[in-house]
Structure 1
Amino acid sequence: MIDNMGQWYGIELLCIGNKGVRIWDSLKKFPGCSVETLAKMYGIEGKKDKPDFSKYIPENYQPTDDEISYCVQDSKIVAYAIYQQLLQGYEAITLSADAFNCVKELLGGHYRWRNVMPQLPIEMDDFARNAYKGGWVYVNPKYQGKEVNNVYVYDVNSLYPWVMHDCELPLGPGYLHRPYGNQLSILRFETIFKLETGFPTIQIKHNMRYKGTEYLKKVDEPVTLTMTNIDYKLFTENYNVEYMSEPEYLSFNSKVGLLAPYIDKWMKVKEEASYIPNVQHENKPVRFMSKRYLNSPYGKTGMKPTRINKIPRKDDDQCLRYDIDVTTIEGIYVPYATFVCAWARDKTVRAAQSESDAFVYADTDSVHLVNTELADELVDPVKLGYWKHEGTFQIGKYVRPKTYIHATKENTEYKITDVTCAGMPNAVKEHVTWNNFIPGNEFKGKLQQQQVPGGCLLVETTFRISE
């Protein structure tokens, strides 16, 4: 199983006698977690230094003893971690599937959960999906590319779990009419608008006239927007809406805390696994998994019913190529994911606008401020949904979304303390300095896969900071 992004989920081998072996990708059980991190989490000794895998390995190559030992030890580390998951009954192919199985139980079991999250007609699924957008990631142009001093960084304590616990979220069937009472709604309309106050929040995707990653301040000709009523409220507060057609609506009944028992359970597990000075040691594996289980359910509900799979084959040169196979599966309930993300964006944007003069940068669940702290009533190091002060940095430079550095400075000497740059490998980050961290610069040290007969080769190339 390979998705349209090239992510491998599993391999099925057919053996003699119609028996088979299924190989699943362990990374889907521990997302964002390297084998080295797993070894440290579980306290497994013996993680070996990596052999030189950048060399070309021909057909019938005989691996060295060091290469065999390295692969065996890595396999033992992953096997132990998987075994711990199986002991707890988590047997699905992905962590998100395990998490959603727990949600199904909470909602009444294998069939009853559909009473709460029914399968929507395809036209309603499409309507709601067009309002399903990710987090707000924005650099304030006032500070972009400049050296800024005394940067305060805040993160929300469990942003998405807070939304699932404390915010109004949809349930049940959709209704193609204007909302009644306290119903939530998704609106679709044509509009012309211009930013008047606050920060821009509107992006337009799949339109030749607009850059899909840019937050727009002005649109002069009618465009069609689809958004939740949460987004719509912020839209009308920030923008002067010069024209707007009569909206189409998709409305839902709602409830606060539908998954609160699930969130409470995993918050308790996380708390009990966290380090408390002079009280308890940190249980790293349990804390890691509890954070992932807290965030997983909403994303699963947004899963697309149309699956684009890649079917591998060898071409005439014995290189790996892919054919495309499109299948349709049963969707889950995209309105839930749509409103979870809407509430999350709303919280971050409003926090940034509360300190608009000092606001430098936001990324989904974090805000960065210059010489300013968030209001005390918004901040708590532990409470769900409050902002936690993650740290203060002497200086920073914010180049573009997901591209910034922090450093210390003594006289004219800069010492980099952390580098954030989407897609930049750690090996490349070692070459970053204060002065060379600018749009368009290229760095050596990135490895890229290149298809060759029999497999792929890691070839060194360069990494370029996008402009």
Structure 2
Amino acid sequence: MRLGMSDFRCSQSKEERAMWQNNQPAYEGQTGHRSWTRKSSTHLPLDLSYTAVLRLYCMEAGFTEPRPEITYINESNLLLMAWLEQVPFFSSLQNRNHMDSILCISDSRFGSIFRERGNAVVKKHIRCEQDDFDLLFVPTTSNYSERARFKRGKKRVYRLRDSLTLLTASLATLGKTLCPQLGEKGSIAHDEVRVSTLKTHSAQLLDYMKQDIRLLGGVMVKAQEIFWTQYKVDIENCLTLSSLSMLIFRMNYYDPNSFPIHIPSRNEDTFIRRGYYGGHADVYKPYGENLVYYDVNSLYPYIMTTFDMPGGVPVWHGNLEGKELSDLYGFIEAYVVCPRTINRPFLPYRDRNNILLFPTGKFVGVYFSEEFIYARNLGYKIYPLRGYLFEKKPSPFVSFVSSLFAKRQKAKADHNDAMSYVYKILMNSLYGRFGINPVSTITEVCDRERYDYLILSDNLIMGDKLSEHYYIVSYYSNTGAVDWKPPKISAVQLAAAITACSRIHMYKYISRPDCYYTDTDSAILEVELPSEEVSSTELGKLKRENYINKGFFLAAKNYLLDTKEDDVIIKHKGLAKDKVDYEWFVSQYADLSRTKRITVESKFRIDWQTLNIGKKDLQVSLGTKVGTKRDPVYVNSVWVDTQPKDVIDLCGQEITALKFDLKCVQHEYALLKDEHAELIKRYTKNDQESAKRIAESDQLLASLQSEMDKLREEIQLMSAAKEPVMRPLTESPTVLEVPQPTLSKPPPKKKKPKKPKAKKKKPNDTS
């Protein structure tokens, strides 16, 4: 059974706001309308529609009824509770069916009030207005959750969930793909909805809500039917798309005997996660004409079938200095030197602002060993320090990806959009489940005693009072050794290996001098690729997305493409994304320092302290941050190119880095000395060319000798010093072979009240 919900909110005109601020009824004498007494432009639910979907039966729909005798704000507070009380009615329609899960429409931030900060808004209404229900919040990682569980005593009544985390597409797209026979999703002009027009447009609004819940019910029934028929998996048992993909993989494709997946310990996860960097987005050239946009067919699934994966139980090696990289397989912390001659560096580096750079310079970091081998072939110098080594084993995902990809190709050939969509989302969602972060956010609605305890935690996010008896607290969990309870299938070594190998696969395209822009699995080039590398159907090959007349690339995920199909594609991050157009990109490229203060209306602004949702006008500065990832290069005051940033970050490994630098200089000195000796052997008095080369060699040998002496002196000084001369720019976690002491505070022990001791009576005491 499923229950879909949709809601709409009211905007205020200036006249309405003025009447509300004066605490006057907005439309006195008119029935069917409610008064508003708040002084802010806060959105509140006005009406609610729902449909109960019973397997093999029908869909029953209902709507909350307006109550003219109740003020608008009070009705909004009671709205959810009225709906909750009506849900058990549908469970009684058929004794063998039980209303278990409730799915909410959540196309976007505007589409649902149930999708932010663990349903804090729902909690506020339900816990503060109705003590009959007990609300439990069930957290997971990555901001996904089983939104809430409603209970009476010890009996669970039903669970509230979010449809967007399970089927990651808009309701309009899902309806068109999975159940086109139900018609298209309706639309209303949300900005034009006013309290004064609700009665006039009530029929239109109800039709809009009916179609929403009809589509949601149809979509979920169709999805449930598909997944059960194909894989014997019920989507009701999964909270997210990645968990659904994982369940199908484990039930139908995974062989634990050939590739047992190791679940990392806290130390292992902390260390390996430092080498989990994600995709690569960069601007290389800011403007180009006659370009081609390429995109890889299912990049991550392709990597999962092509590259070997880290298997077995990892073994910690505390000293890998001097080891040959080709003999190591796993995640290694190393001292890295990237020469400045590499214009498109390969290895990522995360700076103190959490920005992912691809710099030159000297730095220490954790990387997958396959990345190091590839980087060394490009000219990097790699000095391994320590790390976890795995077994190199064939990928366990080959059958999973190959099967789904073949089925998707057949579905596309048969024009079966529903099945093609299902196979695509399953294939692309599995890898992310392995990289799920064990650190999760928990939100509790609790009493004062629990609140006083939670706010003392170092992991506190926020806390506030909801009502006379209830408080709300949000905090991080899984941050220490004591409370370490990672997801049962969190294997970050697999996710990190997949993304690392993806960067290897993409580098041959983004390192080309005619590459203007890249974003994870795409590249925009000036010269077309050879036909053998291009295919719209073959896994791992590139498909041609667009021919581009003009392209402006101002920053990562901030670009404009004027395509030859007369379409303009704009990508812009930030609140003002609706304010940028072709003219803005042209003027911004001409003057990068150009900024403009504009007013942006945020239609769905959440106040996390009061848990109110409303509209708010925000003053923002519309401009472009250039140079955060690469430095711009100008020719005659025109931005024409970029160059990599240069980084020095040794993370407390200064002495080790100096020793490695000394070793490299010594090796270079030895080679040059041998060459110098050979020149002297061949030298004759009349050979002026040899004399010139010998003189140059003498100068270079003297320079190298001076550099070696300087390095030795620095090493001696730093070794003798009590404190390091240089401080690390970024914090580097220390990983030991033994469990580390926890940094979290243990729960305080409750002191039992002492009973007053009875006074012993003296023999002569007559009192």
SS of the residue corresponding to residue 279 of structure 2 reads coil
Query: Residue deviations 1:38-75, cap 9 Å, x none?
Result: 22223131522135268799xxx9x9444343233212
Assess if the C-alpha contact under 8 Å between 1:431 and 1:443 holds in 2.
Answer: no
SS of the residue corresponding to residue 116 of structure 1 reads coil
Q: CA deviation at 1:114?
A: 11
User: Would the alpha carbon gap of residues 250 and 16 (structure 1) be closer, same or farther in structure 2, given more than 3 Å must change?
Assistant: closer
Q: Does 1:93 align with 2:239?
A: yes
Q: Which residue in the other structure is 2:523 paired with?
A: 367
Assess if the C-alpha contact under 8 Å between 2:283 and 2:517 holds in 1.
Answer: yes
Assess if the C-alpha contact under 8 Å between 2:325 and 2:373 holds in 1.
Answer: no
Query: Residue deviations 1:219-277, cap 9 Å, x none?
Result: 4xxx3211011221233344553xx6542132212333421111122112211221x5x
* Letter paired with 1:329: P
TM-score, normalising length from structure 2? Answer: 0.51
Q: CA deviation at 1:304?
A: 1.9
User: Would the alpha carbon gap of residues 79 and 21 (structure 1) be closer, same or farther in structure 2, given more than 3 Å must change?
Assistant: same
* Letter paired with 1:366: S
**Which of 34-43 and 130-139 deviates more?**
34-43
Q: Does 1:176 align with 2:319?
A: no
Query: Residue deviations 1:59-92, cap 9 Å, x none?
Result: xx9x944434323321221221111222223421
Higher relative contact order (CA 8 A, sep 6+): 1
Q: Does 1:77 align with 2:223?
A: no
User: Would the alpha carbon gap of residues 430 and 37 (structure 1) be closer, same or farther in structure 2, given more than 3 Å must change?
Assistant: farther
Report the Cα distance in structure 2 between the residues aligned to 1:400 and 1:363, rounded to whole angstroms. Answer: 11
Match of 1:195 among 325, 332, 340: 340
Report the Cα distance in structure 2 between the residues aligned to 1:51 and 1:114, rounded to whole angstroms. Answer: 57
Q: CA deviation at 1:390?
A: 1.7
Assess if the C-alpha contact under 8 Å between 2:570 and 2:581 holds in 1.
Answer: no
TM-score, normalising length from structure 1? Answer: 0.81
Alignment of 1:408-419 (within 5 A): 417-419=568-570
User: Would the alpha carbon gap of residues 260 and 134 (structure 1) be closer, same or farther in structure 2, given more than 3 Å must change?
Assistant: same
Match of 2:477 among 303, 307, 326: 326
Report the Cα distance in structure 2 between the residues aligned to 1:325 and 1:205, rounded to whole angstroms. Answer: 23
**Which of 259-268 and 183-192 deviates more?**
183-192
Alignment of 1:435-446 (within 5 A): 435-436=586-587, 440=595
Match of 1:120 among 261, 264, 268: 264
Q: Which residue in the other structure is 1:457 paired with?
A: 614
Q: CA deviation at 1:320?
A: 10
Larger of the two Rg values belongs to structure: 2
Assess if the C-alpha contact under 8 Å between 2:146 and 2:161 holds in 1.
Answer: yes
Q: Which residue in the other structure is 1:337 paired with?
A: 495
Q: Which residue in the other structure is 2:400 paired with?
A: 262
Q: Which residue in the other structure is 1:35 paired with?
A: 171
Structure 1 or 2: more strand by fraction: 1
Report the Cα distance in structure 1 between the residues aligned to 2:624 and 2:616, rounded to whole angstroms. Answer: 21
Match of 2:546 among 380, 388, 391: 391
* Letter paired with 1:214: L
Q: Which residue in the other structure is 1:288 paired with?
A: 421
Assess if the C-alpha contact under 8 Å between 1:307 and 1:329 holds in 2.
Answer: no
Assess if the C-alpha contact under 8 Å between 1:203 and 1:212 holds in 2.
Answer: no
Gaps of 5+ in 2: 1-117, 119-138, 229-233, 447-462, 479-484, 626-767
Q: CA deviation at 1:363?
A: 0.7
Q: Which residue in the other structure is 1:26 paired with?
A: 163
Q: Which residue in the other structure is 1:215 paired with?
A: 358
Match of 1:186 among 331, 343, 362: 331
Query: Residue deviations 1:406-456, cap 9 Å, x none?
Result: 1169xxxxx761112235687445686543555645666553533466731
Report the Cα distance in structure 2 between the residues aligned to 1:448 and 1:3, rounded to whole angstroms. Answer: 28
Q: Does 1:377 align with 2:515?
A: no
Instruction: Indicate the percent of aligned positions where both proteins have the same amino acid.
Output: 17
User: Would the alpha carbon gap of residues 442 and 311 (structure 1) be closer, same or farther in structure 2, given more than 3 Å must change?
Assistant: farther
SS of the residue corresponding to residue 247 of structure 1 reads strand
**Which of 86-95 and 453-462 deviates more?**
453-462
Q: Which residue in the other structure is 2:514 paired with?
A: 358
SS of the residue corresponding to residue 223 of structure 2 reads helix
Match of 1:404 among 535, 559, 568: 559
Q: Which residue in the other structure is 1:412 paired with?
A: none
Query: Residue deviations 1:67-120, cap 9 Å, x none?
Result: 3432332122122111122222342111111110122124558xx479610222
Assess if the C-alpha contact under 8 Å between 2:328 and 2:369 holds in 1.
Answer: no
Report the Cα distance in structure 1 between the residues aligned to 2:471 and 2:542, rounded to whole angstroms. Answer: 48
Report the Cα distance in structure 1 between the residues aligned to 2:393 and 2:145, rounded to whole angstroms. Answer: 37
Query: Residue deviations 1:182-239, cap 9 Å, x none?
Result: 763211023454332251234433537xx623322234xxx32110112212333445
Alignment of 1:58-73 (within 5 A): 64-73=202-211
Q: CA deviation at 1:388?
A: 1.5
- The alignment of Structure 1 onto Structure 2 pairs a total of residues equal to 437
Structure 1 or 2: more helix by fraction: 2
Q: CA deviation at 1:294?
A: 0.7
Match of 2:504 among 346, 350, 355: 346
Match of 1:231 among 364, 371, 378: 371
Report the Cα distance in structure 1 between the residues aligned to 2:567 and 2:493, rounded to whole angstroms. Answer: 42
SS of the residue corresponding to residue 419 of structure 1 reads strand
Q: CA deviation at 1:362?
A: 0.8
User: Would the alpha carbon gap of residues 119 and 417 (structure 1) be closer, same or farther in structure 2, given more than 3 Å must change?
Assistant: same
Report the Cα distance in structure 2 between the residues aligned to 1:383 and 1:73, rounded to whole angstroms. Answer: 38
Report the Cα distance in structure 2 between the residues aligned to 1:312 and 1:67, rounded to whole angstroms. Answer: 34
Q: Does 1:151 align with 2:302?
A: no
Query: Residue deviations 1:383-413, cap 9 Å, x none?
Result: 111112222111111111111111169xxxx
User: Would the alpha carbon gap of residues 113 and 321 (structure 1) be closer, same or farther in structure 2, given more than 3 Å must change?
Assistant: farther
SS of the residue corresponding to residue 356 of structure 2 reads coil
Query: Residue deviations 1:10-60, cap 9 Å, x none?
Result: 2222247734210110001112x1112222223131522135268799xxx
Assess if the C-alpha contact under 8 Å between 1:104 and 1:113 holds in 2.
Answer: no
Report the Cα distance in structure 1 between the residues aligned to 2:372 and 2:194, rounded to whole angstroms. Answer: 55
Report the Cα distance in structure 2 between the residues aligned to 1:312 and 1:55, rounded to whole angstroms. Answer: 33
Report the Cα distance in structure 1 between the residues aligned to 2:368 and 2:334, rounded to whole angstroms. Answer: 12
